Structure 1
Amino acid sequence: MTSHRLTVFVNDNFHYQDEDERYQLGEFETLDAAISACQRLVDEYLDEARVDGTLSIVSPADLYQSYTMFGPDPFVVGADEYVPFSAWEYAKQRCQKIFSGQLPLVSSAPASD
């Protein structure tokens, strides 16, 4: 179990391998909280890209391609154990669920406390 704070950093897929574009999203007490923050960031991008009228997104592949080209790529550092999270894999699964109707857009979901 992790005994120290975990940091989530975010790379910009549009500026691939440009560390000057990397930023720190935050620090978290638990691995679950850090992964949830990563997932939230990916979900927000997918939601915005899906409803953005300037992009021609009509399929899961279109949405995933948009994410891999322009979306945020969050990752967790500082864990004592393996971090079972890949933003790209998570985005791929979410794209499929969004287009299959299994998942509402983030902005259409009720707010939670």
Structure 2
Amino acid sequence: MPFTVFVDDNFHHGDPEERLTDRTYETRDEAIARCKQLIENELLSYLEQGFSVEKLYATWMMFGEAPYIPEVDYSAKKSVETFIAGLSHFDHQKGSA
């Protein structure tokens, strides 16, 4: 069964005219990995633009890309939260070193 990754942006969430199709993957795991890659790339680009870790979540919630796979229980929001938590943990450890 193929798994197609679609991308909504949170600014136009649910608007089918603004929806992008990334591509179709042969496995569920490949499709989920692509979703995570899209999110991580976007969040890293925000950091490169000077956004603080604290502002990443709010910025993503307003304007970020939210990839999804209709046939799969995958949460872009949870991927964002996990990624930011990892950054926060890294910043905390770096500050105590």
Give the corresponding residue for 2:30: 33
Corresponding residue to 1:72 among 54, 61, 65 = 65
CA contact (8 A) 2:2 2:26 kept: yes
Q: TM-score, normalised by structure 2?
A: 0.84
Corresponding residue to 2:80 among 62, 86, 91 = 91
Q: How many residues align?
A: 91
Give the corresponding residue for 1:10: 7
What is the CA-CA distance between 1:100 and the residue it aligns to?
Answer: 1.8
CA contact (8 A) 2:53 2:87 kept: no
Larger proportion of helix? 2
What is the CA-CA distance between 1:39 and the residue it aligns to?
Answer: 0.3
Which 5+ residue runs of structure 1 have no aligned equivalent? 103-113
CA RMSD of aligned residues (A): 1.5
Rounded to whole Å, the distance in 2 between the matches of 1:59 and 1:33 is 28
Rounded to whole Å, the distance in 2 between the matches of 1:33 and 1:43 is 15
Amino acid at match of 1:14: F
Q: TM-score, normalised by structure 1?
A: 0.73
CA offset digits 1:43-79 (Å, max 9, x no partner):
01100011213xxx3343x1111111111100012x3
Which 5+ residue runs of structure 2 have no aligned equivalent? 92-97
Corresponding residue to 1:47 among 44, 52, 61 = 44
Q: Give runs of ≥4 in structure 1 deviating > 2 Å.
A: 57-60
Percent of paired sites with the same residue: 32
